């Protein structure tokens, strides 16, 4: 699966930029603040409907022009293969206007759960590489990203769960504030029934996904670490217990049991204290929690291994690769790991959009075979291979734009 073209209209610092993309590796090179992350963000938004960085509607609208428009648009051409290798072409479009985002697929309005599975992306960014160290939210996001991109049904289930969680929390809040009328408590009871069911489904999907990922994760971790000394594994924590081997019944029993224990406290506290929004993912190195045990670099490498396992799982189960978005990750890795990541990228058949401030790390990398674009103040230009060859990596930027 690959994007064939991308157009950014009044999006962030782009006025009206059309980019013809290539299958394989596409580098976007430019100094700080030129729009490289903005470009990846646009692609991510097309797939997921939301950004990977904290932002609100108005942040997406180009503020540069004096007559700034009140809207922005990102469009793309997408080529996908079915399991039977038929090639299908789609046009995707995301409109930002009047404070809303709307998505169309081949000219028809569509929802984001459909898009995430039709056009899955996997993102590596400095933020995602810090997921182990960051809060449990980031770690849960790591698994949920796999669910959302692999199956439209799971994406919808997750959305349904989040909606129910929000309603339940709102209700618990009014109860905590003193509303203990029988009708309110009755509503809570029926909402809790649905909540427990959805909580079980989400947890079960997460655990099954982790189990499916684990063999590939071990393999890619051993590759990135370049050794077989360590044993890598996942744990899925529900109230301090590892649930990685549990089935749906065990999950339901554990969550229901916990609900009985915390029912009163939830009503005093005014929010849900049980459910998948409280669970945690642990990545172990030799049975030790990498959060406390692993070095910063090892933690990054584990997340990288996780994402590579995710990409490979996608390919083996769905027969196509997601598009990879790599934002500035080369600067985050030591040269050994960088080298092995590059090896992986060179042999993968996935389309990879990768940003960097320079190409000094690409010594062993054949730039001629891949597309290199410069990004300069919202202008994206394809650098010719002769320009790249002539100039070399370090000062390519200045020369390519002349």
Ligand X SMILES: Nc1ncnc2c1ncn2[C@@H]1O[C@H](COP(=O)(O)OP(=O)(O)OP(=O)(O)O)[C@@H](O)[C@H]1O
Which residues in this chain contact ligand X in the complex, by CB under 6 A?
12-13, 30, 32-38, 59, 61-64, 328, 357
In sign, the C-alpha dihedral spanning 158, 164, 165, 167 is: positive
Measured between alpha carbons, how far is residue 147 from residues 126, 159, 177, 226 in Å?
22, 11, 36, 29
Q: What is the nearest approach in angstroms of ligand X to the Cβ of residue 147?
A: 28
Give the Cα separation of 365 and 358 in Å (integer): 13
Strands (E), 179-320: 232-238, 241-242, 280-285, 288-289
Q: What is the nearest approach in angstroms of ligand X to the Cβ of residue 58?
A: 7
- Residue 59 near which of Mg ion, ligand X, none (CB within 5-8 Å, type-dependent): ligand X
Tokens of 167: 């309603």
Q: What is the nearest approach in angstroms of Mg ion to the Cβ of residue 280?
A: 29
β-partners of residue 109 are 104
- Residue 209 near which of ligand X, Mg ion, none (CB within 5-8 Å, type-dependent): none
**Is 2 an interacting residue with respect to Mg ion (CB under 5 A)?**
no
The backbone region for 93, taken as left when phi is positive above 0, alpha when psi lies in -120 to 50, beta otherwise, is beta
**Is 37 an interacting residue with respect to Mg ion (CB under 5 A)?**
yes
Give the Cα separation of 115 and 45 in Å (integer): 10
**Is 128 an interacting residue with respect to Mg ion (CB under 5 A)?**
no
Helix spans in 226-295 (H): 248-269, 290-293
- Residue 314 near which of ligand X, Mg ion, none (CB within 5-8 Å, type-dependent): none
The residue (of 42 and 302) whose beta carbon lies closer to ligand X is 42
- Residue 13 near which of Mg ion, ligand X, none (CB within 5-8 Å, type-dependent): ligand X
The residue (of 75 and 125) whose beta carbon lies closer to ligand X is 125
Task: Identify which range of 37-45, 72-80, 239-247, 369-377 contacts Mg ion by CB under 5 A.
Answer: 37-45
Q: What is the nearest approach in angstroms of Mg ion to the Cβ of residue 357?
A: 8
Strands (E), 357-398: 371-376, 379-382
The residue (of 65 and 260) whose beta carbon lies closer to ligand X is 65
Tokens of 261: 């224990």
- Judged by CB under 5 A, the chain residues 53 through 92 that form the site for Mg ion are none
- Residue 47 · residue 121 · CB < 8 Å: yes
Q: What is the nearest approach in angstroms of ligand X to the Cβ of residue 72?
A: 8
- Residue 402 near which of Mg ion, ligand X, none (CB within 5-8 Å, type-dependent): none
The residue (of 44 and 321) whose beta carbon lies closer to ligand X is 44
The residue (of 175 and 352) whose beta carbon lies closer to Mg ion is 352
Q: What is the nearest approach in angstroms of ligand X to the Cβ of residue 307?
A: 19
Q: What is the nearest approach in angstroms of ligand X to the Cβ of residue 68?
A: 8
The residue (of 205 and 397) whose beta carbon lies closer to Mg ion is 397
Measured between alpha carbons, how far is residue 363 from residues 162, 183, 331, 340, 343 in Å?
46, 69, 14, 13, 12
The residue (of 40 and 313) whose beta carbon lies closer to Mg ion is 40
- DSSP tally for the chain: helices H, then strands E: 13, 16
In sign, the C-alpha dihedral spanning 211, 118, 130, 350 is: positive
Please tell me the total number of residues recorded for the chain in this structure: 402
Q: What is the nearest approach in angstroms of ligand X to the Cβ of residue 358?
A: 10
- Contact positions vs Mg ion (CB under 5 A): 37
């Amino acid at each position: 699966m690959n994007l064939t073209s991308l157009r950014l209209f009044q999006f962030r610092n782009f006025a009206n930029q059309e980019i013809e993309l290539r299958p394989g590796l596409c580098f976007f090179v430019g100094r700080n603040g030129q729009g490289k992350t903005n470009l990846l963000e646009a692609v991510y938004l097309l797939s997921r409907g939301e950004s990977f960085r904290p932002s609100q509607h108005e942040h997406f609208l180009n503020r540069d022009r004096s007559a700034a428009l009140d809207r922005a648009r990102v469009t793309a051409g997408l080529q996908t293969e079915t399991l039977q290798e038929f090639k299908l072409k789609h046009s995707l479009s995301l409109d930002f206007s009047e404070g809303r985002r709307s998505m169309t697929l081949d000219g028809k309005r569509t929802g984001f759960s459909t898009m995430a599975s039709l056009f899955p992306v996997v993102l590596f960014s400095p933020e995602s590489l810090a997921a182990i160290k960051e809060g449990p939210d980031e770690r849960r996001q790591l698994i949920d990203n796999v669910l959302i991109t692999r199956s439209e049904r799971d994406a919808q289930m997750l959305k349904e769960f989040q909606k129910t969680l929000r309603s339940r929390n709102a209700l618990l809040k009014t109860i905590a504030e003193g509303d203990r009328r029988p009708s309110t408590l009755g509503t809570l009871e029926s909402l809790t029934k649905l909540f427990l069911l959805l909580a079980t489904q989400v947890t079960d999907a997460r655990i099954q996904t982790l189990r499916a990922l684990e063999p590939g994760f071990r393999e890619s971790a051993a590759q990135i670490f370049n050794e077989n000394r360590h044993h890598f594994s996942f744990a899925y924590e529900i109230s301090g217990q590892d649930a990685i081997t549990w089935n749906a019944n065990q999950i339901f029993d554990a969550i229901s049991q916990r609900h009985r224990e915390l029912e009163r406290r939830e009503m005093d506290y005014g929010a849900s204290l049980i459910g998948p929004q409280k669970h945690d993912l642990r990545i172990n190195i030799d049975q030790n929690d990498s959060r406390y045990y692993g070095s910063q670099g090892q933690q990054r490498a584990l997340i990288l291994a996780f994402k590579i396992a995710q990409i490979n799982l996608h390919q083996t189960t769905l027969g196509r690769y997601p598009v990879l978005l790599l934002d500035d990750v080369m600067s985050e890795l030591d040269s050994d790991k960088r080298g092995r990541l590059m090896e992986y990228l060179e042999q993968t058949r996935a389309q990879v959009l990768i940003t960097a401030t320079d190409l000094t790390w690409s010594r062993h990398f054949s730039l001629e075979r891949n597309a290199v674009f410069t990004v300069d103040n919202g202008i994206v230009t394809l650098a010719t291979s002769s320009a790249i060859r002539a100039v070399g990596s370090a000062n390519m930027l200045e020369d390519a734009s002349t």
